[in-house]
Amino acid sequence: MELYVVRHGQTLSNVEKIYNYVNEDLNQAGIIQAHALKEKIKDITFDAVYSSPLLRARHTARILNDNEDIILYDERLREREHGTLEGKPVTVTNRNDYWNYYKDAKDGNSESVKELFDRVKSFLDELKTKDYQRVLIITHNGVARVFHAYFEGIPEDGNMLDLGINNTEVKVYQL
């Protein structure tokens, strides 16, 4: 099964580099990015389209897929829950520690990398039971990091910070 993993289009929080879990919509650049990606993948047929239920991913999914009825929203694809970091600049944390699988760093009630990894792994385990050839998945940067680590391996030092993808970038994996 081929998985096409897409990060949602750009948001204001992406531009301002702040932690965001809430339902923020795409900005104008994000809408343009999503339409450009739609043009690039228009000839690919997907057996299923999965999306995070957060607004920015939902909006991207609707742009990429004209038939909204077939979009399957899954909570396991939502962004990492940042807890008390929500709305704060990403510079308030040691990002290498915060995204290190082995350090299991949390801030207050935030979700750890291991908890995020387990959530995404649960989604992938369930996906393995489906009879799909090609699946489109619209998600977030934190979840994209987990997909990369799941398929390519967790880096030896555990640091997953550099495993993310740009807005509307696509990574293809074999499940």
The CATH code of the domain that includes 10 is: 3.40.50.1240
Extract the residue ranges of the chain whose pLDDT is less than 70: 21, 67-69
The residues annotated as belonging to the active site are 8, 79
Helix (H) or strand (E) holding 139, with range, is: strand 134-139
Number of folded domains in the chain? 1
Maximum CA extent, the chain: 45
Which residues form the domain of 47?
2-174
Q: Is this prediction's pTM over 0.85?
A: yes
What gap in Å lies between CA 19 and CA 132, rounded to an integer?
34
Both structure tokens of 54:
């957060």
- Residue 110 has what pLDDT? 87
